[in-house]
Structure 1
Amino acid sequence: MRFRFTSELRRWEARVHDDWYFVDLPPEQAAEVKEWADALPRAGFGAVKVMARVGGTSWSTSIFPTASGVYSLVIGARVRKAEGIEPGDVVEAEVELA
């Protein structure tokens, strides 16, 4: 399963001293991921392994379920720098379930 989506890059506000940035899958796509993932054993925190792509940058990672029922994709510093994206930017991303 592969999903393409756009989402605003946001900083995780739960910890003041940590710099974690995420984009969220839309609810409809998140529901499809949840249905697929519920049939498989998952890693900690309900993570689902994916191959991700933003612009020309691809990497292996996981998406994580949120309290609001969607999945979040971490956008690390390497990706943000390579693609020139900042918090508040709308990001076009792709995830493929591994």
Structure 2
Amino acid sequence: MRASADDTITYDFTAELYEWTGPAAWHFVTVPVAISDEIDARTYGLTNGFGSVRVRVRIGGSEWATSLFPDAKLQAYVLPVKKAVRQAEALIAGDEARVHIELVDVS
């Protein structure tokens, strides 16, 4: 975790991209448990629907706004990685992605 002079909270990690096994072709990376726990503590009472947390994300040269979603089974947040980003960064399921996230709403 890094906090900048303007109190922006950011995290960097590497995680495997995977395709959700449900009926849609969503792809995700799982935020490491330790980082998920810290995000949960920092955003307590500030989450949106479904416990989602608004973030800005960068993978490679692609940046976008999205939300992290809690996954009770994993006990961690998951980050959806949209098709345009996967294509721009030449990522497929099973690839490792270097992820930079910035919390949008923090206490």
Q: TM-score, normalised by structure 1?
A: 0.93
For the pair 1:13 / 2:18, whether they are aligned, the reply is no
1:6-31 Cα deviation digits (max 9, x unpaired): 1100001122xx11000011111000
Counterpart residue type for residue 37 of structure 2: A
Number of residue pairs matched?
A: 95
Equivalent AA in structure 2 for residue 46 of structure 1: G
RMSD over equivalenced CA pairs, Å:
0.8
Unpaired runs of 5+ in structure 2?
A: 1-8
Q: Corresponding residue for 1:62?
A: 67
1:80 has 2:86 as partner: yes
SS in structure 1 at match of 2:37? helix
TM-score normalized with structure 2 length? 0.85
Distance in 1 of aligned mates of 2:22 and 2:42: 28
- Identical columns (%): 37
Q: Secondary structure at the match of 2:36?
A: helix
Separation (CA, whole Å) in 1 of partners of 2:68 and 2:100: 11
Q: Output the CA distance in 2 between the equivalents of 1:66 and 1:94.
A: 19
